[in-house]
Amino acid sequence: MKIRSILALATLVFVLALSITPAAADGHCPQEGGTFTIGVDTFLPMDPNTAAHDWTFYAITNINSMLFRIESGQPVGDLAESWDITDDGTVYTWHIRPGMMWHDGNDVFPEGESREVTAHDVVYSIYRQYDDESSIMAADLRNLFVSAEATDDHTVVLTLSGPDAIMYDKARGLTFTAIVAPEAIEMYGDDYGLNPLGSGPFEFVSYSPDEEVVLRANEDYYIDPCLDEVIFRVMPDVPAAMIALEAGDIDWWGSVTPGDDVGRFQDNEDMTVLNFGCPVATRLYMSVDKPPFDDVRFRKALSHMKDGNAINAALRGPTHVKGAGTAGPGVAGYVEGLYDEYHSYDPELAMSLMDEMGIVDTDGDGLREWDGSNLEIPMFAWNSDPAPDYVAAMVDAAAQVGLTIRPEIADPGTNNARRLDGEWGIYLGQGWCGEGGTNALWGRNGWISSLGYEDEEIFDLLDKSAQNLNEEEREAQLQAATTRVAALYFEPAFGFFNIFTVKNNYVKDFFGGEWTLNLATDDHNVWINEDER
């Protein structure tokens, strides 16, 4: 941690030296105060046990202290100043930062009557997630969990039955565990999410559903936040939100930005486009347990019959990234060149594969038959942009090789139900980012298991990697799994897209959200330059 801090300090000095705005005398905030308004597309009550949206967690991670935060993809200290892990990866000892106080001036802790956050509160919070079967604690951590105990007021020992390599991965492991005050849970019960209380850099002020959440700076935090106020504004209509962003009604759009707007914002001198750093794949799944999809040749034909890269480039605009596989560039398990090897555009090959299988046009209507009648494949997709465009592109590509694809586009719920029922056909799908995502998708009991994606070798590789603390070995196992998925399933890939968020330039020292939203940390303290607004 020492070296990190020194490095960070050096960076900070360098940045400040470069910046035109002179820093305040104490080197702390160039400009104090200000309101940071964040636009998001959905927002839910802020109980870490039940909140199911990253954007909600952006608020939670500012109200509540976390054991650790993620910054530039790496875990950094928060409530835990530091931690040790035994060599076998099963025992974590967390050293809790002394002097952290619960927010006061509320119904639970009247002004000045707060108390210090202790190791016992951490244990309480972990067990609250573990004991509540409906909490969103990840299954892999739940399955490995043995115990959590406070050995003194500032030490927590977490014992697992095996090593967990995705402890710090986005949205898996302990990254869900926000530290809550037992007194607040006792007072509010199920309504805690409407009255969240923590020890983070910002205090909860108010929540209006579907409207906004207001937080104000916690002056007792161990860092003084430069911002006075943080507002999360809910904007379900993305184009409207883009207008608001440009008009300065919101300072940062924290949810996914559509490709075309990214291009426009990149050209806008007043805006900065930030990369979330986790490319997401768009690909097809299919009912691989049913013919003709159970034949690898047919899967291969589906993969080669379309110009996935061109389609993805057209539909994702500046967010497009060429590639294929379960992990994108920059994510553990990424394999270079997978697209060209398994998914390149080759309609001739696609046709010859189908010919080989006997899926040919015998009656001369230009359409291929299978099992005595024209082969018409339903393609399932959800109904928000740009999913339907992928379907249109597939319909067109299939027609070139004599196949008929019937669009079956529905709201996400109906679309999910079809996948769960394992209906015969092909499915548009998006990957998840991070290695935890790879696991949840292709692993045992994974998200697409209902379609018949079951391969012991892949399961095995993923299980091993999830418990392997050696980074190099883990990377190799993940790459092996990724390659195996491509070679076995030919899961027809289009490419990746980057998740970009966009901020106005008057928001300073801000680098976007990761899975935690870091507004006041050792290295960064977000502030608003009101002169530029």
Partner 1 sequence: MIPLVFGVTTVTFALIHLIPGDPVELMMSNTRQMTQEEINRIRDKLGLNDPLPVQYVRYVTNLLKGDMGISIRSRSPVRYEIEQRMPDTIILTLSSISLVLVFALPLGIVSALKRGTWIDTASMTFALLGVSIPQFWFGIMLMLIFGLHLDWLPTVGQGKTPIEFARSLVLPSVALSLSLMGLVTRMERSSILEVLGLDYVRTAHAKGLGARQVNYRHALPNAMIPVLTVISAQFASLLGGSVVIEKVFGWPGIGRLAVDAIFARDYLVVTNTVLVFAVMVVLVNLATDILYSYIDPRIRFQ
Partner 2 sequence: MAQQIADLAPEGEFSELARPKSFWYKAFQQIIRNNRAILGFSVLLVLVLAAVFADQITPYDPYKVNYSNYKQPPSAEHFIGTDELGRDSFSRLIYGARISLMVGIVVSSISVTIGVALGAIAGYFGGIADMIIMRIVDLMQAFPFLVLAIALVAVFGPSLRNMMLALIVVYWIWFARVVRGMVLTLRETEFIVGAKAAGASDIGIIFRHILPNVFPVVVVQGSFSVAEAILIAAALSYLGLGAQPPTAEWGSMLSNAKELMRILPVMSIAPGVAIMVTVLAINFIGDALRDALDPTLRQ
Point out which residues bind partner 1 (CB under 8 A).
42, 44-45, 47, 50, 52-54, 132-134, 136, 138-139, 171-172, 190-191, 193-194, 208-212, 233-237, 239-241, 243-244, 246-247, 249, 411-418, 420, 432, 434, 436-437, 439-441, 443-447, 449-450
Q: Using the rule CB under 8 A, is 470 a contact of partner 2?
A: no
The bridge status of strand 68-71 relative to strand 369-370 is: unpaired
Q: What is the DSSP letter of 24?
A: P
For residues 146 and 168, give the distance between their C-alpha atoms in angstroms, rounded to a whole number: 18
**In the bound complex, what is the minimum distance in angstroms from residue 428's beta carbon to partner 1?**
13
Q: Which does 300 bind (CB under 5 to 8 A by kind): partner 2, partner 1, none?
A: none
Residue closer to partner 2, measured from CB, 203 or 408: 408
Q: Using the rule CB under 8 A, is 321 a contact of partner 2?
A: no
Q: Which does 392 bind (CB under 5 to 8 A by kind): partner 2, partner 1, none?
A: partner 2
C-alpha triplet 310, 312, 316: angle, nearest 5°: 125
Q: Which does 447 bind (CB under 5 to 8 A by kind): partner 2, partner 1, none?
A: partner 1
For residues 197 and 182, give the distance between their C-alpha atoms in angstroms, rounded to a whole number: 10
Residues 258-277 that bind partner 2 (CB under 8 A): 258, 260-261, 263-264
Q: Which residue stretch of 199-207, 363-371, 382-390, 471-479 sits at the interface with partner 2 (rule: CB under 8 A)?
A: 382-390
H/E stretch holding 355: helix 347-357
Residue closer to partner 1, measured from CB, 241 or 311: 241
Strand, coil or helix: what is 494? strand
- How far is residue 438 from each of residues 47, 236, 309, 451, 495, measured CA to CA in Å? 26, 28, 21, 16, 16
Q: Using the rule CB under 8 A, is 313 a contact of partner 2?
A: yes
- How far is residue 49 from each of residues 128, 143, 176, measured CA to CA in Å? 8, 17, 8
- How far is residue 325 from each of residues 333, 335, 468, 475, 521, measured CA to CA in Å? 9, 7, 21, 14, 34
- What DSSP line would sit under 285-313, residue for residue? EE-TTSTTTTSHHHHHHHHHSS-HHHHHH
Residue closer to partner 1, measured from CB, 201 or 443: 443
How many CA atoms, within 13 angstroms, populate the side-chain half-sphere of residue 200? 31
E-state strands within 365-512: 369-370, 373-374, 376-382, 404-410, 426-430, 493-497, 500-504, 507-508
Q: Which two tokens stand for residue 159?
A: 């014992």
For residues 243 and 240, give the distance between their C-alpha atoms in angstroms, rounded to a whole number: 5
Please report the sign of the dihedral spanned by the C-alpha atoms of residue 478, residue 382, residue 512, residue 44: negative
Please report the sign of the dihedral spanned by the C-alpha atoms of residue 480, residue 486, residue 487, residue 491: positive
Q: Which does 434 bind (CB under 5 to 8 A by kind): partner 1, partner 2, none?
A: partner 1
**In the bound complex, what is the minimum distance in angstroms from residue 450's beta carbon to partner 1?**
7
For residues 313 and 393, give the distance between their C-alpha atoms in angstroms, rounded to a whole number: 12
Encoded one letter per residue, x for contact with partner 2 by CB under 8 A and - for no contact, window 219-248 reads -------------------xx--xx-----
Q: Which does 244 bind (CB under 5 to 8 A by kind): partner 1, partner 2, none?
A: partner 1
Q: Which does 261 bind (CB under 5 to 8 A by kind): partner 2, partner 1, none?
A: partner 2
Q: Using the rule CB under 8 A, is 410 a contact of partner 2?
A: yes
Q: Using the rule CB under 8 A, is 393 a contact of partner 2?
A: yes
Residue closer to partner 2, measured from CB, 286 or 311: 311
C-beta separation of 325 from 487 below 8 A: no
Q: Using the rule CB under 8 A, is 383 a contact of partner 2?
A: yes
**In the bound complex, what is the minimum distance in angstroms from residue 209's beta carbon to partner 2?**
18
Q: Which does 311 bind (CB under 5 to 8 A by kind): partner 2, partner 1, none?
A: partner 2
**In the bound complex, what is the minimum distance in angstroms from residue 215's beta carbon to partner 1?**
15
Q: Using the rule CB under 8 A, is 391 a contact of partner 2?
A: yes
Q: Which residue stretch of 28-36, 91-99, 312-320, 350-358 sits at the interface with partner 2 (rule: CB under 8 A)?
A: 312-320
The bridge status of strand 35-40 relative to strand 229-234 is: parallel
Residues forming the site for partner 2 (CB under 8 A): 238-239, 242-243, 258, 260-261, 263-264, 307, 310-311, 313-315, 383-386, 388-389, 391-393, 395-396, 407-411, 413-414
